[in-house]
Amino acid sequence: MSQRLSMLEAMIAKGSMDPFAHYARAMELRGLARREEALAAFTELTARFPAYPPAYLMGGQLAAELGRTEVARAFLEPGIAAAQAAGDEHAESEMRSALGSLG
């Protein structure tokens, strides 16, 4: 296990309510090629912090990479709404593009 992952998991275990700590953990898992665990972490992240647009984008991208088109859609569609609510036009645009590429 990477030192960074250990640190992030310790923060989360202590009850961190910072969505970025959870996001960073999911990204670290992805970077370690633990893609199934990363996808589960993005799923948990969006359930716990539904107003955090980056989680939807990265979860959708990872699901698409894994060939799970419907799971990707399940991330990206609510992610667009979360980005709109947050006023994050960049994230919204990226998610619309990712959704369009799913076919």
Mind listing the pLDDT tens digit of every residue in the chain (103 residues)? 699 999 999 999 999 999 999 999 999 999 999 999 999 999 999 999 999 999 999 999 999 999 999 999 999 999 999 999 999 999 999 999 999 999 7
Domain total in the chain:
1
- Among residues 99, 22, 9, 20, the alpha carbon closest in space to that of 63 is found at 99
Q: Give the list of residues 6+ apart from residue 32 with CB closer than 8 angstroms, or none.
A: 2, 5
| pLDDT of 103 | 79
Q: What is the CATH number of the domain that holds 67?
A: 1.25.40.10
| pLDDT of 14 | 96
Structure-token pair, residue 14: 């202590």
Domain that holds residue 50: 3-101
